Structure 1
Amino acid sequence: MSRRIGVLGGTFNPVHIGHLRSALEVAEEFAFDELRLIPSARPPHRDAPAVSAEDRLALVRLAVEGIELLQVDDRELQRERPSYSIETLESLRAELGSEVQLFLLLGWDAYCGLPSWHRWQELLDYCHILVLQRPDADSEAPEALRDLQAARSVADPQSMSGPCGEISFVWQTPLAISATRIRQLLASNRSVRFLVPDAVLAYINAHGLYRATS
């Protein structure tokens, strides 16, 4: 069988147990050989994080230490310009070869925003897309995505075949944890224990990350 590799990108600002639990569940459900967490340095759709890329990378590495299925990939941090997913996928394909099944994991909001992404219509030339959707989601994809979704969607995500080219939806009840809320708590000197792994919290405290500056 071909290797199966998942890709989950984001600012991870900071990485929290919601990210990790969701990633691990998908990796196990789809029998991935590995799922790569790829921190972005300069996301094109939002302001650059105040915390450095080096610190966010260190946090993700600490978070997945000892979890064999979850790996950290720092290729986007090596670029001197915004992180475009299509370029990351091109790079992964060049490294992994044409036969590996590559799955890009997207939350529902990110999926609906695809038409604003750089070269978004080429994404399926390099990967499958797994959309992580809440069971209570009742919104529809934007019109710009509907033709693509109609042509490429697969009802059963377990039946996705080939190295790339298909879209499917995974119903998941994510933990209601927000990186924004974690930053707010830290800025007001309140505890975020049990929202992030202990090793992540220890690093945040040791380096004074996300704290309000006087």
Structure 2
Amino acid sequence: MLVDDDAALRQALEAVLISHGHDVASAQDGLSALRAAVEIRPDVIISDVNMPHLEGPDAVRILKTLPRFRHVPVVLMSGAELPATGLAQVLLRKPVIAEQLVKLVEDLGWGSTSPPRPTHHPPARTSAPDGGWNPALAIVSLGPYSGTRCAVRICRGIELMHAQAARIDRLRRANMNVEESVRLYDRLVESVATLVQCLPAEAFWSKRR
């Protein structure tokens, strides 16, 4: 699964991966990636970091709370230097060399016989909190699920996640203990992940009504 809000780059990388025999599902932001992920089971997730609605690391963090995604390898891409978070097997600096990405996908998809051991890391924002958060636009990103109550709650949960991550950053800068705040952040992530799992079922029953 390839996730990037830069349409030209996304289409170029998708074309290269397809030309090397890979099936590619693409998404334009983190929320769309959640929608795509519940519909398919990707062998590898390749995601940009800074995107509208839901950033790449936050989308990956939500997916990793679900058992079916726990051992799916992840590549995070960014034009900026990325701190190690434990979320990704590979941190890739943009501009991306297509041949390098193809080799990474092949190595990550088939090069390991045992799943990586999960590592817990406290949340760390990779950019400033999104001051332009628009719940209505975010809900639309969930496509066919946008009319469900789950979609509204997912977007609200993500908004709370962002606010809590910003609060943790402020506490850290003040050299204060963040243990309880991190635990609350983790609960918010788990709540959003549970709602993501419920999306297809709720969409199905909404159509039946």
Name the one with the larger strand percent: 1
Give the TM-score, by structure 1 length.
Answer: 0.32
Give the TM-score, by structure 2 length.
Answer: 0.32
